[in-house]
């Protein structure tokens, strides 16, 4: 199973960058934006020399919001897969489903904190959800990529041209938060938006993606059926998929699907430790260490891990320890990379440096695949887990290296002090966890919206979860 997982990830990476390269060829090397592109200035505004911690946390939220507000796909108002300041027109109309879910949650943070006008946000969210209603769906699931103009599927790979249940789960997490935020409004437009979000989430046929087995499958294609054959088993980023599948009022899975699928009948837990810190869960393919940090981010934008446990695992301990181990790994720095220290740390999936060309690549960075690359979203989105260490990292970025590592939509996707390398590029899935997780640290805003949703609570109880934070 681990070999299959690794093979699948590498295939996704290869296909993604094949598309990027083909896009570059079609542009003939011209940096002129294509139709629908939004040019970004490549030189950020020069800030004061020093910011307070409160100023930095507000700035990084506002900066991350820009990706989904100022630089969204122009027609759908959803999130572009990527934004390259060195080629703004590249993939201008490629909408990412999961990243768009993170974007919905980021915009809610913007409304709450007064970063964007509420009326403007409601209008934009209404446009986005109407687009999703008309876009291609496959047994209720959206594809990984959508054409932001037509709503048609853009294949992520030859057989990956249908429903992507995991990306859909990330989107549904955002839809539920939108529903909950506006459901008690006295404004008709806001109430209509809430209902639209509810209808979209309830239309996802989660149980179809079991094939009648006690496990969820990632993909279904109208041309290739379930030939991708990728099962969802823990521990990785896909926990939210099982929670929502159990919570569905129309297409729910049974607990046995979760127990035998995600939890592996208890094999998800481990007694192993690293740096004296218990791992709690077996990280897929990580061989006694931890996987990339996004595994403890994507499901937990809405799921509040504090005091959350099922029959096998305390997830609050699991994600906090994941972050602590990642921090200790970077401080210990067994590969002696320049620039790894208590202020500069964090490994996750992001752009990477191609060792042959020195240009951009992509990799799921983690201790057993450490390439000397720091991905800012890793430590920043760890803010609820390691607040002191994450704040040290933010000070390093904003007070010590602003001009080098901060662009017009926040921290660039990746850098390496060792190689004196930084990519002037952004990915939706990386920018999209920043504002929600920082806000969850500050106010538990999205956690409270999601965890207090009646259907979510019902789904968690069905799977045997208990939460000391929410009293069930």
Interval 190-212 mean pLDDT: 98
Whole-angstrom distance, CA of residue 72 vs CA of residue 267: 41
What does the pLDDT read at residue 49? Answer: 72
The predicted structure's pLDDT at residue 47 = 56
The more confident residue out of 355 and 126 is 126
Percentage of residues of the chain with pLDDT beyond 90: 88
Q: Is 50 exceeded by the pLDDT of residue 20?
A: no
State residue 4's pLDDT score: 38
The owner of tokens 């209808």 is 199
* CA separation for the pair 103, 80 (Å, rounded): 10
pLDDT in tens, 388-440: 999 999 999 999 999 999 999 999 999 999 999 999 999 999 999 999 999 99
Q: Tell me the domains of the chain and their CATH numbers.
A: 2-8+51-467 (1.50.10.140)
pLDDT in tens, 154-166: 999 999 999 999 9
Burial of 287 (0-12, 13-18, 19+ CB in 10 A): exposed
| 180 φ, ψ (degrees, to nearest 5) | -65, -35
Across residues 274-296, what is the average pLDDT?
Answer: 97
pLDDT, tens digit (0-9, with 9 covering 90-100), for 39-59? 344 455 555 579 999 999 999
Residue 2 pLDDT > 50, yes or no?
A: no
**pLDDT(335) > 80:** yes
The model's confidence at residue 61, banded by pLDDT at 50, 70 and 90, is: very high
Q: Across residues 328-336, what is the average pLDDT?
A: 98
Res 46: pLDDT? 52
Q: Which residues contact 454 (CB under 8 A, 6 or more apart)?
A: none
Cβ-Cβ contacts under 8 Å for 160 (sequence gap 6 or more)? 12, 15, 143, 144, 219, 221, 228
């Amino acid at each position: 199973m681990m070999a299959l997982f690794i093979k699948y990830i590498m295939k996704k990476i290869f296909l993604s960058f094949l598309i990027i390269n083909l896009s570059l060829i079609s542009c003939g090397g011209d940096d002129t934006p294509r139709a629908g592109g939004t040019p970004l200035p490549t030189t950020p505004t020069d800030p004061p020399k020093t910011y307070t911690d409160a100023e930095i946390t507000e700035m990084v939220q506002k900066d991350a919001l820009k990706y989904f507000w100022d630089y969204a796909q122009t027609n759908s108002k959803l999130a572009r897969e990527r934004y390259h300041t060195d080629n703004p027109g590249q993939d201008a109309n490629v909408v990412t489903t999961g990243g768009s879910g993170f974007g919905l949650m980021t915009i809610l943070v913007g409304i709450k904190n007064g970063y964007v006008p509420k009326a403007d946000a409601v209008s934009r969210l209404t446009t986005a959800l109407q687009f999703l209603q008309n876009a291609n769906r496959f047994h209720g699931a959206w594809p990984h990529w959508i054409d932001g103009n037509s709503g048609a599927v853009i294949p992520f790979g030859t057989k990956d041209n249908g429903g992507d249940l995991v990306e859909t789960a990330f989107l549904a997490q955002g839809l539920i938060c939108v529903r909950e935020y506006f459901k008690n409004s006295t404004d008709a437009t806001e109430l209509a938006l809430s209902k639209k979000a509810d209808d979209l989430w309830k239309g996802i046929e989660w149980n179809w993606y079991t094939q009648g087995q006690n496990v969820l499958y990632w993909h279904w294609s109208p041309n290739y059926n379930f030939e991708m054959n990728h099962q969802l088993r823990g521990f990785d980023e896909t926990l939210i998929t099982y929670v929502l599948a159990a919570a569905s009022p129309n297409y729910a899975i049974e607990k046995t699907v979760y127990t035998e699928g995600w939890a592996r009948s208890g094999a998800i837990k481990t007694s192993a430790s690293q740096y004296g810190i218990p791992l709690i869960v077996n990280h897929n393919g990580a061989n006694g260490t931890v996987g990339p940090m996004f595994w403890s981010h994507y499901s937990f934008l809405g799921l509040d891990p504090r005091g959350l446990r099922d029959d096998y695992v305390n997830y609050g301990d699991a994600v906090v320890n994941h972050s602590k181990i990642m921090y200790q790994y970077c401080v210990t720095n067994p590969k002696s990379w320049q620039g790894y220290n208590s202020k500069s740390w964090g490994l996750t999936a992001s752009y990477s440096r191609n060792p042959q060309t020195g240009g951009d690549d992509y990799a799921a960075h983690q201790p057993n695949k450490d390439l000397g690359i720091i991905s800012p979203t890793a430590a920043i989105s760890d803010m609820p887990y390691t607040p002191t260490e994450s704040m040290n990292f933010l000070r390093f970025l904003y007070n010590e290296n602003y001009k080098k590592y901060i662009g017009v939509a926040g921290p660039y996707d990746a850098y390496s002090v060792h190689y004196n390398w930084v990519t002037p590029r952004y990915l939706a899935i990386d920018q999209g966890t920043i504002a929600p997780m920082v806000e969850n640290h500050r106010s538990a805003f999205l956690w409270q919206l999601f965890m207090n949703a009646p259907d979510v609570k019902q789904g968690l109880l069905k799977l045997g979860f208990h939460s000391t934070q929410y009293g069930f």
